Structure 1
């Protein structure tokens, strides 16, 4: 039973590392069609349990996207509270997303090939 628990913990760490690796591009993809604010991004990500994340992860990521020129922000007044900071994709962010989207199928297919028993390259 202890070995099974250790194996589950290792698998959970693996999922966490995968999420960290692709979360930036998932956020860029969510900004592709419309600007969104932070809590909205958290809610949409939570719709896919494997991509659910926390404010402590998302907001620093959004700051990095803004600093690196991949996203921009603007404030919108809210009738029910403080202004909301919206994030939108920049042209540079769109190019980065397109580059990732172009590379993703080959990367995914390569990993899938390794995961299928007896299907080594």
Structure 2
């Protein structure tokens, strides 16, 4: 790994991770551990579960997600997360901003030195 590469990943994650969580919740209610499993699958978006629960708490306090408790046959009750209307609006705004931003970054990275 190039020196500073993990710091770069951390900065990129910080800006996008909450919207990735909101995007998952767009399909319905999710259990926190299931969210963590999806987001840590390849180690790019999240390297471990430790960052997810504080993020979910911030999203809840901001009114972007809501929670509900459901009994579990496999142990204690589970907390499920779902998207609120404000969360849907925030995700839509991020999506509108993300696409042109991503395209501009891709274009800059693909730019050739010979600008003739």
**SS at structure 2 position matched to 1:49:** coil
1:9 lines up with 2:27 in the alignment: no
Deviation at 1:39, TM superposition (A): 0.6
Q: 1:55 to 1:49 in 2, by over 3 A?
A: closer
Is contact 1:77-1:84 (8 Å) kept?
Answer: yes
1:53 positional shift? 3.5
Match of 2:47 among 53, 58, 63: 53
Q: Which residue of 2 aligns with 1:98?
A: 92
Query: 1:30 and 2:29 equivalent?
Result: no
Answer yes or no: is the 8 Å Cα contact 1:77–1:83 preserved in 2.
yes
What is the alpha-carbon distance in structure 2 between the residues aligned to residue 37 and residue 9 of structure 1?
36
Aligned to 1:62: 56
Gaps spanning 5+ residues in structure 2: where? none
TM normalised by structure 1 equals: 0.86
What stretches of structure 1 of length at least 5 have no aligned partner? Answer: none
What count of residue pairs does the alignment treat as equivalent?
114
2: distance between equivalents of 1:40 and 1:53? 15
- Higher share of residues assigned helix: 1
